[in-house]
Amino acid sequence: MSKHHLIWNESRHCIGIAAIDDQHREIIGRVNLIADAVDQVNRHEAAQEMMDDLILFACEHFALEERLMTEYGFPDLEEHIAEHLGLLQQLNNLRNALHTPSPAKAALVSAFITDWAEQHILQFDKEIGAFLTAKGMS
Ligand SMILES: [Fe+2]
Ligand SMILES: [Fe+2]
């Protein structure tokens, strides 16, 4: 396991909504695999393909969160959607940066994992979790 990995921690990362937590677990797993691939010279094409898949998966994931926020009347919907757009922009930038492999690229992916998991999930998605669980969802 490389130093770039983020370890999923149920009590730290779960927001309490099973469908969203499952997708977050999957996302962190995929980003860790990409971090491994960009670290290896002969695997940068695989890393690009995994990144394409991750972008599609992230779009599905953001759509799920946005649908639930809309359905239940989450008050900070617009701010959250803007955050998602920013994350997609970062993912696309990383995807474009993966043309050639290098330790610097691995560091970029690593920084992105931290950003997403530590900031977006813990700060923004936890708010959705608290809001939806208060509405009786799980
Ligand atoms: Fe989100
Ligand atoms: Fe999320």
Q: What is the mean pLDDT of residues 10-38?
A: 93
User: In whole numbers, what is the pLDDT of the chain averaged over residues?
Assistant: 90
Compute the distance between CA of residue 21 and CA of residue 14 in angstroms, rounded to an integer: 6
The number of the ligand nearest the C-alpha atom of 20 reads: 2
Distance CA 33, CA 49 (A): 12
At 129, the amino acid letter reads G
Q: What's the CATH code, domain 10-134?
A: 1.20.120.50
- Give the number of whichever ligand sits closest to the CA of residue 14: 2
Give 49's contacts (C-beta < 8 A, 6+ positions apart). none
- Is the pLDDT assigned to residue 41 strictly greater than 80? no
Q: What pLDDT, on the 0 to 100 scale, is given for residue 67?
A: 98
State pTM to two decimals. Answer: 0.92
Tell me how far the alpha carbon of residue 41 lies from the centroid of ligand 2, in angstroms.
31
